[in-house]
Amino acid sequence: MALEPVALSLLDRPHLPQDGELDPANFKEWWHFNLLDDAYGLDLIVNLSLSGDITRPAVGEANLIVLAHEPAHGWTGGVRRHDGLTARVETATFDIQLDMVKLRFHRDRYVLKAESERPDGISVDVELVPRTEPMVVWKNTPIGSGHINWLITPYLEADGTIRVADRQYRIAGARAYHDHNWGRWLWGDNFGWDWGFCSAAAEVEGAPMSLVYDRTVDRAGHRIMEHSLALWHGESLLKFFPRQQIRMQRKGLYRQHIRRIPGVAGLIDPASVATVPGRIDIEARDGDDWVDACYIPDAAIQIAIPREVGFGLVQLNETLGWLTLSGSVAGLQFAATRRSCFEFVG
């Protein structure tokens, strides 16, 4: 990893509201990890989030999402909600504890432990070593009436143990992704996004090629605020395609059943989920540099978030599937099909 570990730990530390800051109730922050284990076909999603004023009781929230997808068993896991005051957050370092979850940056790696006492639950004990430099966008990017910042590390290697119900997996060198978002916004405001990644999508001249895709739009999907495709080769960012150089097209709808969590969301909105595309095609062009990508999901789950503006639910759709990628950037040619993850929010 080219970036010094101490620098990464400082960049990724919590960014809680300071005393006297405006709108602490609209504050939001999360640390998100995806793990794709090609040996077992196991996919893991862990998201630890903070919102509102977590220094006072019954005002802020600290929530945990742990989800696993197995080819033979489908989705396991769900959402655990807590009063924000129960979270132990060290703002000077990267060290967070919530209930039976511990997340910290130690030396040169993330250490993630999440215990579950339920026999049908998920327990995680993994270490994740960054293999690329992060991308940091810290400019209060507008999102609805608020703003958001983020840090992205597109490729980490994960080692450890994951238990899903009575099935235990010992993973070694699994591909992983991490992002950290913070800012102030309201769920249900006029925004949505498509986001996706593929860690170590292809091996090119002895180094992995990884990518991250982002498209931030209004809630109807008509006005584009952000649109980018970033590629890393080895540790370093190789190419950033801005919105003027990218075209994306959705095709069809994902037709399989999509489970909603938490379960009560189905009572509030019993309609079938119809916001996940059956396929997306992405084209990026800049002179001699070009990328073509096609993503087809084969598993999806929806996390329903109560709107803070209006009535109803915000649909946060997590999908897993296969990304077919080809291109030529900076004289490096590549082509591959790899397990990937895309998220659709609206």
Q: State residue 235's pLDDT score.
A: 96
Q: What percent of the chain has pLDDT over 70?
A: 95
Residue of 197, 52, 68, 143 whose CA lies nearest to 346: 143
Q: State residue 264's pLDDT score.
A: 59
140-178 pLDDT, tens digit each: 989 999 999 999 999 999 999 999 999 999 999 999 999
Domains of the chain: 1-185 (2.40.370.10), 188-346 (2.40.370.10)
61-89 pLDDT, tens digit each: 999 999 999 999 999 999 999 999 999 99
Residues in CB range of 118: below 8 A, 6 or more apart = none
97-127 pLDDT, tens digit each: 998 899 999 989 999 999 987 888 999 999 9
Residue of 97, 96, 60, 95 whose CA lies nearest to 81: 60
DSSP assignment of 179-199: EEEEEE--TTSS-EEEEEEEE
Distance CA(13)–CA(221), nearest Å, equals: 32
Residue 181: pLDDT over 90: yes
Residue 131: pLDDT over 60: yes
pTM to 2 decimals? 0.95
Least trusted range by pLDDT, from 201-210, 217-226, 252-261, 290-299: 217-226
- Residues 157/164, Cβ–Cβ less than 8 Å: no
Q: State residue 176's pLDDT score.
A: 98
Which burial class, exposed, middle or buried, applies to 83 when counting CB atoms under 10 A from its CB (0-12, 13-18, 19+)? middle
Q: What percent of the chain has pLDDT over 90?
A: 77
Residue 220 pLDDT level (bands cut at 50, 70, 90):
confident
Q: State residue 55's pLDDT score.
A: 87
Distance CA(282)–CA(213), nearest Å, equals: 9
Residue 290: pLDDT over 90: yes
Q: State residue 116's pLDDT score.
A: 87
Q: Which helix (H) or strand (E) holds 329?
A: strand 313-329
Q: State residue 270's pLDDT score.
A: 60
Residue 330 pLDDT level (bands cut at 50, 70, 90):
very high
DSSP, res 69: E
Q: Which helix (H) or strand (E) holds 176?
A: strand 167-184
Q: Which two tokens stand for residue 130?
A: 């960054």
270-287 pLDDT, tens digit each: 666 778 999 999 999 999
SS3 call for 115: coil
